[in-house]
Chains A and B, each alone.
Chain A
Amino acid sequence: MSRFLTDYELMIMLAILRLRNDGYGVTIARELEQTAGRQTTLAAVYLALDRLERQGLVTSALGEATPERGGRAKKYFKVTSKGLHAVRATQRAFIALWSGIPQLQGGTR
């Protein structure tokens, strides 16, 4: 059975998927801010990514180092198949809870 993700973890997983499995800390945080309107800190993003990686829901690979990064490498994240299962399981749980609530029918406002 897949474990359910917290709302923040789900947002991060969706951000990585939206970035076509080619996101790193900065782009993931930007995606959260620009698409979901959720203000966050890079440290919070990394804390969640660290937890997701230890649970095998994402994997990471070091990328290129650039001068504006002080010569430090980027770390790119990718959702694993186990991670995708967890996203789907969480989505199903949310949809099931969502349905049958009259106040939440018809629009997102």
Chain B
Amino acid sequence: MKKAPALATVLLNRLGPRDESLVGDLHEEYATGRSRAWFWRQVMAAMAFGAAREIRRAPGRTIVAVATGWVVAAPVFLLGDRIAPGLAGFFWQWRQQAAYADGVWWPFYICALLVTYGGFGLSALVVARVNPNRPAMLLAYVASTFTALAVAGLVLEVLIIRYAAIPLPHPLFYAVFSTLPFLWHSGILLVPLTMLLFGAIAMRHAPRTA
């Protein structure tokens, strides 16, 4: 029998809609000769439509999930400025005062990224575990709030480079630049991927319900 793409099947089983008939239909149709691209398209659509159905059925759960995601991630981000220098010092004997003189910041950047993405991963793990029935949609909504801030950070940075000034109120500047360090450089694409990956890991042993 023709075997469906492994990664797409994993995503469908762990993060797709909990609808056995739909999953069965996808496998049946793929076995009749549909392409791998067709299967991937169907899996992505299943995840997206499952998300739409879930928010329509339980909008409150989405709001709670987004709040949970932020409550878990925020302390990591807020402590990131303290944890990252410590980690960089531990691994590479990096010192912040010395970096101002010699300009060597890469150990700090690497550790800051690790801490930041650790925060996303932890957030995804908790959101997926707390909401085992429809994790993909909820993770997508949590990730989209992070990504929106990453885009805001990128826009701010472009404005600063272009006009050499901050044309926005201080609280927004603080929220984007201080609570999400280094996010705007790498986060636009990597945040959703990181959250889906950690969500899939969290759902590995989760019980399936109808």
Instruction: Please list the residues of chain A having a beta carbon within 8 angstroms of any beta carbon in chain B.
Output: 24-26, 29, 41-44, 46-47, 50, 62, 65-75
Chain A residues with CB under 8 A of B49: 41, 43-44, 46-47
B interface secondary structure, majority: helix
Interface positions of B (Cβ within 8 A of A): 1, 17, 19-29, 31, 41-42, 45-46, 48-50, 52-53
> What's the Cα separation between A46 and B50 when bound, in Å?
9
Q: Shortest beta-carbon distance, B72 to chain A, in Å?
A: 29
- Interface contact A69-B28, CB-CB below 8 Å: yes
Cβ of B35 to closest chain A Cβ, rounded Å: 14
With a cutoff of 8 Å between Cβ atoms, the chain B residues found around residue A44 in the complex are 45, 49
Residues of chain B with a CB closer than 8 A to A74's CB: 21, 24-25
Q: Which of chain B's residues has its CB closest to A69's CB?
A: B24
User: Is the Cβ of A43 less than 8 Å from the Cβ of B27?
Assistant: no
Known: A47-B49, A68-B1. A42 touches B31 (CB 8 A): no
Judging by beta carbons under 8 Å apart, are A47 and B24 in contact?
Answer: no
- Residues on the B chain within 8 Å of A50, using CB: 53
Alpha-carbon separation in the docked complex, A41 to B50 (Å): 12
B23 and A47: CB pair below 8 A?
Answer: no
Whether A25 lies near B25 (C-beta < 8 A) is: yes
Q: Which residues of B contact A41 (CB under 8 A)?
A: 41-42, 45-46, 49
A104 to B174, CA, bound (A): 60
